[in-house]
Amino acid sequence: MNIEPYLASLYDKLQEMEGLITSKTIQQEIDGNLRIGFIKGFVAFIDGSRLDFTEQLPTERCKFRFHFMDNQQNLIVRWDSAPHHKELSTFPFHKHTEKGAEEHRSLTLLQTLEEIYKMIIL
């Protein structure tokens, strides 16, 4: 997805989740000439949980780190594309939980917010 439509969808999702969010910071660096960018920041939720994130744009670049933790800053799940865990069939994509590294597909910040939304409202 191109950068501008993706960012518009991302900000729409954050607006949709406004009742669950207590604070957020998003920094973006976009090079319009090269059509690449980077976003990073955090989103804090009403249950005290927090998502710290970094993502390269466009999302097809598949470089990301989405670190979701509870109100005590304990890991709930971290999805990332760091090139370790070569033993996983989804390499380099995976997630970390208290059980360790697990296979997981590539995903975007927008998709991560959807996952977190399901976790918080259940």
Distance in angstroms (rounded) separating the CA atoms of residues 54 and 58? 12
C-beta atoms surrounding 60 within 10 Å? 11
Residue in 7, 48, 11 with CA at minimum distance from that of residue 29: 7
The pTM of this model reads: 0.92
Question: What is the tens place of the pLDDT at every residue in 62-114?
Answer: 899 999 999 999 999 999 999 999 999 999 999 999 999 999 999 999 999 99
CA distance 21 to 55: 20
Instruction: Quote the distance between the C-alpha of residue 30 and its chain's center.
Output: 18
pLDDT of residue 122: 66
- Summarize pLDDT for 23-68 with one digit per residue, the tens: 999 999 998 888 899 999 999 999 999 999 999 998 888 899 999 9
Q: Under DSSP, is residue 14 helix (H, G, I), strand (E, B) or coil?
A: helix
Cα separation, 32 vs 17, in Å, equals 28
Task: Tell me the domain boundaries of the chain.
Answer: 3-121
Q: How far apart are the first and last CA of the chain?
A: 30
Q: Phi and psi (nearest 5°) for 104?
A: -165, 145
